[in-house]
Amino acid sequence: MLAGCAALCPWLRGFMGRIVLAILIAVVLPGCRRKDTSLKITGSDTMVQLAQHLVKAYLERNPGQAISVQGGGSGTGIAALLNGATDIASASREMKVKEWELAKSKGLNIKEYTIALDALAVVVHPTNKISRLTLAQLSDIYAGKITNWKELGGADMEILAISRENNSGTHVYFKEHVLRLGREASKGEAADPIATREFGPKVTYGVSSQAISDQVKKNPAAIGYFGMGWVSKEVKVLEISSDGKNYYLPTAENVRNKKYPIARSLHMYLNMASGERAQSFMDFVMSAVGQKIVREQDFVPIIHDG
Amino acid sequence: MLRRGKLVELAIEKVLIRTAGYLAVVILFLILLFILREGAPFFTSYRLDEFILRADWYPLSGRYGMLPLLSGSLLVTAVALIFSVPMAICSAIFISEIAPPVLRNLLKVLLEILASVPSVVFGFIGIVLLGPWLQQLLGIRTGMNALTAGILLAFMALPTIASVAEEALQAVPRSLREASLALGASRMQTILKVTVPAASTGIIAGIMLGVGRAIGETMTVMMVAGGSPQITLSPLEPVRTITGTIAAEMGEVVMGDQHYRALFMLGLLLFLITLGINTLSGVIIDRIRRRQGGRGGQGT
């Protein structure tokens, strides 16, 4: 392990911020077995703000405890959970079967909590004439089948599709539910080309929601997506339809009554070996007070508290 | 007393310096070993020829073709060299041969400051200023492309190349310049026909260091190059580099996963490329030295 740490050092210098953290979590911690007693929450960038507000409110009611919140992406959080480096993983996607199996093989007992709902807003430059798209059109855009806004009734301009990097839960969600339209390749049947679609080779990637927002603001040809909490006045939010008849904006109401098609649930995964304090924090998150904070952070609460 | 002093001196020489020297080799070896240990099992579940020859990098779907990443890295590096080499050599010539001493010292300090700008700052400049500006100027699809990344990398490699080249020019013996001037050559003729050729090994060494700097740079390219894993020769297209891929994806992977191992093999690839560049520069420098027959006493 010591050799591992030493060998990674020159690499670390070039990596910045969260990547360093992520690697430290993934590589160093399991070897150096943590001793401090603070509770750790790691994972989804989409949920970092939310988690911090939840922690703050929780600590106000339960003083004398320490809880740290780290981002890095849903995958990072789940990897940390499986490597034993975090107590709670926050994730904007569900744990994959492969990950559940890995947890089982490592003897981890993990409990899933769905703590909020979130919608992905699809955004374009404010000057773009397009104001609504179907899921199928979105899929074609990101697969590189539709390459010009003209094909959708817009200006004669090549489309610049921007996606999140593949360490993001948002990326995975978008790939499965928009790009592949929620279809899964099943063995035995005739191959469904949409179920195995990949992002087109010309799709570009933004390292964060902020980076995507910055690009869409400035580029009239751009289209991008991110959690509804990131929407600002400088971008235009598109109405989305799953059937080509009814189009909806990503509002809290449309998400809650499941009309907006690109909505997902946000999760926290608790390592049951983390003890009482972690359990009591999760209970707080699921309580009416916790869910009120969820609403204040522009997400849609799970519990209907009126 | 004398004896004791000698003993200390001996201890320092034999133990400390030698250990430090060996340590560098040992660490290098350990790095290689570590990368291999983590990465090599990748090929128990994935075919080597597919890794090398496939043109699609979709790690989440279990497709690991490294070609688009390699071509992305090479394209960005090539663009960086096209911009940085002429600039760096010209500034080295100016600093070493033309500028008065006061200006020379000032410029050297400025070069060092340029070298110390963090790469994430170059990334911000690319996202906020250079990218959108190039996109409007050239009327292209996106400013996040190989050209933008290459230009930023050029400014990052510039101080490396320029300072090594400048040292090489400084090391050219005065007598060579004086002989040239005495034969009636102008100052410019002396620089171009005598000084620069005499310093060519050092200049090439500088360029090679610059290549290493450009190909290994991570943060800037990850932020600015666009991240599309496509094989292209056009610098106006977004590309994905080896370094950017490792940095962006390392956070996602579970230790011991196939994807995790694939990233380590990319690390090994990067390692081999840098090793190749260093070996190549050694060969080139050796060849030039031999051709010049020990005539020039240039440094580096």
CATH number, position B98: 1.10.3720.10
How far, in whole angstroms, is CA A284 from its chain's centroid? 22
Whether A298 shows a pLDDT value over 80: the answer reads no
Asked if B89 and B158 sit in the same domain, the reply is yes
Contacts of B224 (CB under 8 A, 6+ apart): B122, B123, B126, B127, B130, B131, B144, B148, B149, B152
Q: Once rounded to an integer, what is the mean pLDDT over residues A274-294? A: 91
pLDDT at A190 over 80: no
Which stretch of A57-61, A189-193, B158-162, B185-189 has the lowest confidence by average pLDDT? A189-193
User: For the segment B201-240, what is each residue's pLDDT rounded down to a tens digit?
Assistant: 889 989 998 999 899 999 999 999 998 999 999 999 999 9
Reported as a single tens digit per residue, the pLDDT across A23-44 is 445 544 444 444 457 899 998 8
Helix%, strand%, coil% for chain A, nearest 5: 40, 20, 35
Structure-model confidence comparison of residues A83 and A13, the more confident one: A83
Mean pLDDT calculated for residue range A47-67: 89
- Average pLDDT in the A161-175 region? 86
Res A187: pLDDT: 56
* Rounded Cα gap, residues A79 and A82, in angstroms: 5
The answer to whether the CB atoms of A204 and B217 lie below 8 A apart is no
Per the model's pLDDT, the better-predicted residue between A291 and A209 turns out to be A291
- Substitution target from B25, B32, B141, B232 for chain A, most A beta carbons within 10 A: B141
Per-residue model confidence (pLDDT) at position B299: 43
Same domain, B119 and B212: yes
What domains sit in chain A, N to C, each tagged with a CATH number? 38-117+266-301 (3.40.190.10), 119-263 (3.40.190.10)
Whether B31 and B116 share a structural domain = no
Q: A259 and A153 in contact (C-beta within 8 Å)?
A: no
Average pLDDT over residues A94-122: 91
What tokens appear for B39 in the block?
């990465």
The confidence score (pLDDT) of residue A304 equals 56
Identity of residue B262: A
Q: Which residues in chain B have Cβ-Cβ distances shorter than 8 Å to A75?
A: 251-253
**ipTM, 2 dp:** 0.76
Q: Please determine, for residue A303, whether its predicted confidence score (pLDDT) is greater than 80.
A: no
Residues B60 and B107 both lie in one domain: yes
- Does position A278 have pLDDT exceeding 70, yes or no? yes
Q: According to the model, what pLDDT value does residue A10 have?
A: 43
pLDDT at A12 over 50: no
Amino acid B83: pLDDT: 96
Domain co-membership, B215 together with B295:
yes
Inter-chain touch B144–A215, beta carbons under 8 Å: yes
Residue B9 and residue B90 in one domain: no
Residue B34 distance to chain A (closest CA, Å): 6
Mean pLDDT of A135-162: 93
Number of domains composing chain B: 2
Query: Which segments of chain B have a pLDDT < 50?
Result: 296-300
User: In terms of Cα–Cα distance, which of B258, B262, B231 is closest to B246?
Assistant: B262
Q: How confident is the model at residue B282, as a pLDDT? A: 85
Contact A202 B228 (CB under 8 A): yes
Range of the structural domain that residue B162 is part of: 48-299
Whether residue B172 sits in one domain with residue B109: yes
Q: What pLDDT was estimated at residue B215?
A: 93
Contact at CB, A165 and B249, closer than 8 angstroms: yes
User: By the CB < 8 Å criterion, does B117 face chain A?
Assistant: no
**Using the beta-carbon criterion (under 8 Å), do B243 and A222 form an inter-chain contact?**
no
In order of A67, B47, B265, B266, the CA distances from B41 in angstroms are 37, 11, 10, 13
A86 to each of A5, A40, A47, A54, A67, how far by Cα in Å?
Answer: 19, 5, 16, 17, 11
Q: Does residue A253 carry a pLDDT above 80?
A: yes
Asked whether residue B276 falls in the same domain as residue B150, the answer is: yes
My answer on whether B152 and B257 are in the same domain is yes
For residues B35 and B60, membership in a common domain is answered with: no
Cα–Cα distance measured from residue B281 to residue B278, given in angstroms and rounded to the nearest whole number: 5
Tell me what the pLDDT averaged over chain A comes to. 83
Residue with tokens 């933008």: B148
Q: Which residues of chain A are within 8 Å of residue B59 when distances are taken between CB atoms?
A: 166
CA B172 remoteness from chain centre: 25
Q: Are residues B37 and B54 in the same domain?
A: no
**What are the tokens at B171?**
């090391």
Distance CA B171, CA B105 (A): 17
Tokens linked to A267: 């999760």
pLDDT at B13: 81
Q: Do B253 and A75 touch (CB under 8 A)?
A: yes
Q: Are B24 and B53 found together in one domain?
A: no
